[in-house]
Amino acid sequence: MKAIFEHLLGNDPIKAYLQKAVQNECLHHTLLFSGMEGIGKALFAKALARNLLASCETRIQKELHPDLHILRPEGKSGLHPVEQIREMIGEIHKPPFEAPKKVFIVTDAERMQPVSANAILKTLEEPDLDSAIILLSSAPNEMLPTILSRCVHLAFQPIPKDAIAAFLQEKHQVPAERAHLLSRQSHGSLGAALRLLSNDREESARQLLFDALDHKISSYSAIEGIEALFDGLDGIDLHHQVEWLLGAYLMRSRDAELLKEQGSRELLYFPAEGTAVISLEKAHSKVLQARQALERNMRLSVSLDQLLLG
């Protein structure tokens, strides 16, 4: 059998497990892929779907196959509405349109409302034999235990930094020094490294945040600038952007702790930046408060206030 995941970076034990399960026709009907954003969960899910649906790469990547169903959070709240989940349940009980199976990929599965999660429980426990369900989550601890108990849980690990750096150099012609810096800043997430390489918005927002921390600009100016950069984003897209910014804030705090202890500058995430940051312990507390504000659908400025004020 052709290797299903040979083109993907990292997580070789998961590759071997899934390859063997498919080959022996003993793949569990419900899988949970967990791990940080950008680590490759969705790529693995689509590669597996391509095999199960006996389809070509183009139809899967463009999501054109009638037996491939991908559910994403909706609306400003960035949650899976119960109507969406009920529609999925109805589709599960229909026969496949053209493939041997139907494949359902639920992204950000931790963002199912309790009523949505409860609606799908019985289906996860007793799905149709011609359906495969793949849940993707960067925060499985936020999912209902009853959901977790019905899945085979595969925890994706960060991709080695050297592998990310090599990929950036080979596939995107990134100079070695910058490739290694991006690999450190991405924390083992290839998706994050690629976003940092091409997304001026994220880099501009980070620079505004750091300039405010170094008192080069006022907190008000930084918040106003970041809000302008993120204008037009809502729901899960805004959530992901802010989460990345919070991660950069923690990395910056860790840099300050490293320098305080006279650690090697080669280990810094942002070697050219200043170090005017509060303790890492207090930084974690501020990030928690910012996340809580975000989850309560408060204005972005409220989350940013938690980082820059007080």
> Given this model, what pLDDT does residue 217 score?
86
Whether 167 is covered by a domain: the verdict is no
Amino acid (one-letter) located at 148: L
User: pLDDT averaged over consecutive 10-residue blocks of the chain (310 residues)?
Assistant: 80 93 89 90 93 89 91 83 88 88 92 84 78 92 88 92 89 86 81 77 82 84 85 76 84 81 76 66 84 78 78
Question: Could you tell me if 146 and 219 lie in one domain?
Answer: no
Between CA 195 and CA 302 the distance in angstroms is 25
The Cα 308–Cα 288 span in angstroms is 13
Report the SS3 class of residue 34. Answer: strand
Cα three-residue angle 180-181-182, rounded to 5 degrees: 90
The reply to whether 122 and 244 lie within a common domain is no
Residues 142 and 245 in one domain: no
Say yes or no: 146 and 22 in one domain.
yes
Q: Is 166 exposed, middle or buried (0-12, 13-18, 19+ CB in 10 A)?
A: middle
Burial of residue 197, with CB atoms counted within 10 A of its CB: 0-12 exposed, 13-18 middle, 19 or more buried: middle
Token couple for 226: 């970041």
Indicate whether 138 and 21 sit together in one domain.
Answer: yes
Residue 211 lies in a domain: yes
Domain identity same for 25 and 145: yes
Residue at which a domain ends, from 121, 155, 189: 155
| Domain co-membership, 109 together with 42 | yes
Tokens of 40: 């490759």
Instruction: Determine which helix (DSSP H) or strand (DSSP E) holds 82, and give its type and residue range.
Output: helix 82-92
Task: Round to whole Å and give the CA distance between 246 and 241.
Answer: 9
Cα 143 from chain centre: 15
Task: State both tokens at 285.
Answer: 């507390």
Strand, coil or helix: 170: helix
Largest CA distance in the chain: 63
Residue 275: what pLDDT? 59
Residue 65 lies in a domain: yes
Judge whether 1 lies within some domain. Answer: no
Q: What is the CATH number of the domain that holds 87?
A: 3.40.50.300
Tally of domains in the chain = 2
What does the pLDDT read at residue 41?
92
Q: Is 46 within the bounds of a domain?
A: yes
**Cβ pair 126, 100 in contact under 8 A:** no
Judge if 151 and 16 occupy the same domain.
yes
Q: Is residue 21 part of a domain?
A: yes
Q: 160: closest CA among 135, 195, 137, 193?
A: 193
Distance CA 196, CA 10 (A): 20
Could you give the CA distance from residue 273 to residue 253 in angstroms, rounded to a whole number? 11
Task: Please give the model's pTM, rounded to 2 decimal places.
Answer: 0.75
Q: Are 139 and 16 part of one and the same domain?
A: yes
- Estimate to the nearest angstrom the gap between the alpha carbon of 181 and the chain centroid: 20
The reply to whether 180 falls in a domain is: no
Beta strands in the chain (DSSP E): 30-34, 68-71, 102-106, 131-137, 152-155
Q: What angle do CA 227, 228, 229 make, to 5 degrees?
A: 90
Evaluate whether residue 189 is within a structural domain. no
Range(s) of the domain holding residue 124: 12-155
Tell me what pLDDT residue 34 has: 93
